[in-house]
Structure formats: structure tokens, C-alpha cells
Structure 1
Amino acid sequence: MTAASGARPALEPIAVVPEAEAGLVAAVERAGGTVAPLDERTRGIVWSASAGGADLVDALRRAPGTRWVQLPWAGVDGFADVLAAAHGDGRVWTSGKGVYAQPVAEHALALTLALLRRLPRRARADEWRRDHSSRSLFGARVVVLGAGGIAESLLRLLAPFGARVAVVRRGGGAVEGAERTVTTGRLLEVVTGADVLIVAAALTEETRGLVDAGVLAALAPGAVVVNVGRGPIVSTDALLAALDSGHLGGAGLDVTDPEPLPAGHALWSAPDCLITPHVADALATTPALLAERVEHNVRAFLGEGDYAGLIDLEAGY
């Protein structure tokens, strides 16, 4: 997607803040950009912190001539207030959307297989006890909530299993590799009788609490739920109830609500619940992946090619 005419500034200073991380500074310079301290001359900002909306607002006040802002992660809900106030400001906003798709999709697949094979309960077992409660991903009915880069990567990983996948997305348009693609309003329809629900959507006012008691009840008995999107998309109370009742066969959560999940929270001891502490994209290669995105977008900032990971300010992601 090409930015609006006149939105791309000429060669002018780019600030890497709040921390001038060496890898990001090098990425800017590889692309031909000029790195300089944040001040009134700044025209581009590469934000190096995963949060800090108020700090970013302050940075923009100190650099009112900024025309492009790069955020570090795919999820931008931590900057929701900043983005809401950015409507009509003439700036280009980009994120890490799609950068971490492969590792997150891999993690989602790992959680799914672990749950279907009942690994949480078996990892906690202290005696030899056989049962036949495991389920297979081969030929399973899978629903993926979200249609971004994670979903696209996940569909490729699911293909060898012959899973019948339905994708639920905000807008229209088929997703390659999915048996069905439907809009969010039809979520209940497609999850009815499904064996696996994988949440990989952005957190917006539309998706907050979307996976509620009704959605969980519609899944097939013994179905599993995996969340690698954002915690508040899934109702924690409804999830706990579905696990405690035995209706769900398990839940794999890389994100939770609340987050961080406090010690002693009921999810830690819920039946067949496997929790990882928001580490789906926490690989040794993650900084290099972000640096590649920054390098690409600095080139776009300088007029060479299109921006990647453009944030839709109306949609909020």
C-alpha cells in the first residue's frame, strides 16, 4: 500500500527512542537514513519500547514535525489512546504487523498439538496411567479467528494435517488455504461443532470479549482453544467455566486476561490448561526480524517503495 501523496518526507533525521538500540540504529543507517537525537528537526521516529504510550505522546510533542512513526510489535493495543488521537494528523503509522507471524504460528501449532495429545495432564502425572482421550489434528475442524500474517502462516502449517479450516475475519475476501472465510458476525455459526479454535486476532473494541460463553459452548465436546492473539478477546470467566465443566478438552494460552497472570490465579490450576508467558515471538531471531521491518520502512520513508505494516487508524490495528 502506498502512502498518500506528500506523506513521505525527504531525507531528514530519524530518532530511535526511547532507547537507541544498536540493531535498530544499524537498520536505519543500512537503509540510508540519518539517525539523530529526538528534537524539533526529527521527521521519523522508530519507537523501541513495547509500551509507553504516554512517553510516545511526549516524544511527538518534542518532535512536532514527525511524519512517520514505527511501532515495534504487531499488536498495537498498548498504544490505542495515541492512535485514537492520531486521526487526521497526517502522519504515517506502521507496526510490526506480519513480522512475527511464523514464530507465533509455530507456537500456536505446538500448543494445539500438546492439548489434543493431553500433554498438560500427562506432564503433571506422577503415576503410570493410560487412557485413550487424545485427539488428532488430522482431518479436524479448525476455526482461526483473525486473518493476518499469523493466520496465513498457520494455514500453511495446518495443510499437511488435512484440517478443514474456517477463517473468521473483520472484512470480506477469501483467505488462501481456508475451506471457508466468514466475517466476525458469523463466528458462532462456524465454531459450532469445531474441534479447535485458534485466536490470532488483534484486540479492538469489536474483538474484546468476542469468545464468550456462547462461543465456547458451541464448540464440540472435548474441543481445545488456543489464544496467541490478545488475552481480553477470550472471556476468562467463561473459559474457566468451560474447562471446569469438562466441556473443553483444554486451553493453550500465550496471552491472558489479566496479563501478566498473577500467581494463584485460577487459570494456573485449571484442568488441561497450558500457559506460556507471552513468548510466542520471543526467539533469538526476533530483534533481527524487527530490524528488517525498520530497514524496509526507512527506505519507504525516503521514497523507495511502499510502507509495510501500515496501521489502519480507523480499525485500530
Structure 2
Amino acid sequence: MTVEDHVIVIQPSVFEDAAFDVLRDLPSVKSVTFIRASGYGGHSLPLREITAEEWAKTTILVTGTTLPPSRAAAPNLRLVQLYSAGSNAVVKLPFFNEDNGVVYATASGTHGPAISEWVILNILNFFHHSSFYAKWQAEKRWGHDSEFPSPVRSQYGRTIGILGYGALGRQTARVAQALGMRVIAHSFSNPPKKERVEVAVPGSGDPDGSIPAKWYSGQDQLDDFFTSGLDVLVISVPLTPETKGLINARTLGLLKGAFVVNIARGAVVDTDALIEALESEHIAGAALDVTDPEPLTPGHKLWTTKNVVISPHISGHARGYEYGVANIAVHNVKALDGGWPLANKIDKTKGY
């Protein structure tokens, strides 16, 4: 039987409709309806109610967290393409947890280039003390590097450990390697899945898993990974019961002198333990695009903790983001029709 697809795209106003023209080119797609949304990506919410008639005919949904009210309301839905790289915002929703045959896919890979650039930006800013440049310029003063709290540290030859070697971890590894850093990786899959071809941004990442000089895998090798001489730790694991609070007082204790970067989810890190490790200078510093709680409350101690840089969960926000999401959606519609594996398909048993 020939499938007729009717697509709803819950589209943030900052995104370009033209990104989804590639969906219109698919033979199965008969209509594409854009519903304007506030917010960005995974945090977008529709600005109007989706009608019963629209839900009833929808077969493909591109969305942040908005799902149909019930299977009966959307009997023809077969694919939900998320804007977010993670799935933790939808896994608790009733519709997601129904055994209704709907397939879900994340936008993993879309964020890779922008987020990896944010990671490297913050590593270099910290070890090159670049905040002094803006200070000197504002003061109209020709400063001197003797004012730095420590000598500038080149990252060439240093070791960066990537905890969670998915799309974000792989692209970060690619860029770090270009700086001359030694990359080691940890994957919770045991044995680790070393191959991953990116659909969202073709040519990005580490398709054959050849960049890491050393691999660690599974829960049993976590401590070995943390004590392997890391100069920088990049956290890029999904938030699951297994990873919640993974970076805590004990594990931070194994990271003496490391610079810690969190591009995963705030709850992967015990915030109080991180503050203690920073204030005691047990770790060199931290760059956080995510926090726990999030958003961080105005009076929270983390704001004024030494040697930390915080951004409001925007490291992946970059022009062209929606084109990567559209590439994944097109791939997955073809995969469903052709009977081959989907990109970024969520495993409901794992929650990601």
C-alpha cells in the first residue's frame, strides 16, 4: 500500500521554512503544514492549537516537545522527529510511553559543529586568559601577560577525555585532534559502537571511531577512564538513571587538575560537589552550557564560584540548525518506506 504523508512542522520563528522543502520533494509527502512556535528547537511551543482535523491526518511530526493528546487523536502518525539531541523532555510524556507503534528520532548530529566550537572556545578562553583582553581594551590600557593568574597553556599534546562518544563527542574529538590534542573516549556501550555516520551534517564527526587513541567502555571502566591523566573532561552523555549524578564528589576526586566541560544535561553533575571542587581548586575550572537547577536561579552560588563559565543552554544554537533536522527527517522517512535502519532512533527501553 502506498503511504500518503501529511507533515506538521512546529516551526520556531527563527527557523527558515525553506529548510523543509526537501520533505516536499519526497514522493510520499502530500502536504506540509507549518505551525509557528515560540522558543528554540527542543524548547519550542506552538503559538496556536493544533486542530483535531490536523492531528487526524498527520503522519509525520517535527516538534520540540508537543505530541498528540492521544493515539485516537492521531491514528495515522508514524514518525516523530524531535528538534533536540536528547529525548529526556519527551520520555515522561504519556503519548511517548504508549505502545502505539510511533517511531521517534532525535536531532543528534545537528548540533555537533556549533557545540564542538563552543567547547574549544571555552577551553582556549580559559587557558589563554582571554577575558583579560576585553578588560584591557575597556580600560584603554596596554596590558601585560604578567597579570595573568597563570602562564598561558597551549593545548597541543594535552589529553582530552570525552565521556559519551555520540555525535557531540565525535565532532568535539575531530576539532580537538586538529588542535593537536590526544583524544580518549568512554562509551557506556560495551563493546563500544565505534562506527557512526552523521546524517544531519554529512562529513562531520568520527565515522569509523578512529580518532581516540584509547577507548574505555561500560560502567566497570569508568574509574580507569577518569584516572587516565585527563587535562580536559568533556561530558556528552545522555541523561538516564545510570548517568544522573555520575559526576559527583567521588568522581571529581579522580580528576585532579582537569578542566571540566558539560554539554550534556545539568543533572549529570552534582552541582554542590562541582562547586566544592572548583572552590578548593581541586579541578582547574569548568565551562557549563547546562546546569542543575536549570535555569539557574539568580541567587545560586554557582554564578559566583571561581573559575567557572556558564552559558544558558545555547551552545548548539546556530544558523542553519533546522537544515540538519530536515536532513534527518528525510532520511528517516525514506528509511521507514525502504525498511532500513533509521538515524537517531530512540530506544524506549533505554530512554534515548
Q: TM-score, normalised by structure 1?
A: 0.85
Structure 1 residue 160: Cα displacement: 2.8
**CA RMSD across the alignment:** 2.7
- In structure 1, how many angstroms separate the alpha carbons of the residues matched to 2:218 and 2:95? 22
Aligned counterpart, 1:137 = 155
Contact 1:203 1:233 in 2 (8 A): yes
Deviations 1:144-200 (A, max 9, x none): 111111111111111133322221111123532111111242222221242111011
Q: Residues of 2 paired with 1:84 and 1:315: CA distance?
A: 17
175, 182, 191: which is aligned to 2:216? 182
2:297 maps to a residue whose letter is: P
1:17-60 Cα distance to aligned partner (Å, 9 max, x none): 5559734653421323122663333332222x3x34xxx14164
| Displacement after TM superposition at 1:299 (Å) | 3.0
Q: What pairs up with 1:129-278 in 2 under 5 angstroms? A: 129-171=147-189, 172-173=191-192, 174=194, 175-185=209-219, 186-192=221-227, 193-221=229-257, 223-278=258-313
2: distance between equivalents of 1:92 and 1:106? 31
- Residue 31 of structure 1 corresponds to which residue in structure 2? 26
**Matches of 2:300 and 2:74, distance apart in 1:** 43
Q: Which runs of 5+ in 2 are unaligned?
A: 34-52, 195-208
Q: Number of residue pairs matched?
A: 303
- In structure 2, how many angstroms separate the alpha carbons of the residues matched to 1:189 and 1:122? 38
Q: Which residue matches 2:332?
A: 297
Deviation larger for 299-308 or 277-286: 299-308
| Unmatched runs of 5 consecutive residues or more in structure 1 | 1-8
- Greater relative contact order: 1 or 2 (C-alpha under 8 angstroms, separation 6 or more)? 1
8 Å CA contact retained: 1:16, 1:24:
no
Q: Distance in 2 between matches of 1:244 and 1:72?
A: 36
CA contact (8 A) 1:83 1:313 kept: no
SS of aligned partner of 1:63: coil
Distance in 1 separating the partners of 2:230 and 2:152: 16
Residues 80-118 of structure 1: CA deviation (Å, up to 9, x unaligned): 123895474322221112222121112111122222234
Secondary structure of the structure 2 residue equivalent to 1:70: strand
Contact 1:168–1:182, Cα closer than 8 Å, also in 2: yes
Q: What amino acid maps onto 2:306 in structure 1?
A: P
> Distance between the aligned counterparts of 1:154 and 1:110, measured in 2?
11
Distance (whole Å) between structure 2 residues aligned to residue 235 and residue 263 of structure 1: 19
> 1:226 Cα shift?
0.4
Match of 2:203 in 1: none
Query: Identical aligned pairs, as a percentage?
Result: 29
CA distance in 2, matches of 1:243, 1:60: 48
The alpha-carbon deviation at position 133 of structure 1 amounts to 4.2
Q: Which residue of 1 aligns with 2:320?
A: 285
Distance (whole Å) between structure 1 residues aligned to residue 9 and residue 338 of structure 2: 22
The residue type paired with residue 171 of structure 2 is S
Between the aligned partners of 2:171 and 2:113, the Cα distance in structure 1 is: 6
Q: CA deviation at 1:252?
A: 0.3
Q: Which residue of 1 aligns with 2:6?
A: 14
User: CA 1:134 to 1:20, structure 2 compared with 1: closer, same or farther past 3 Å?
Assistant: closer
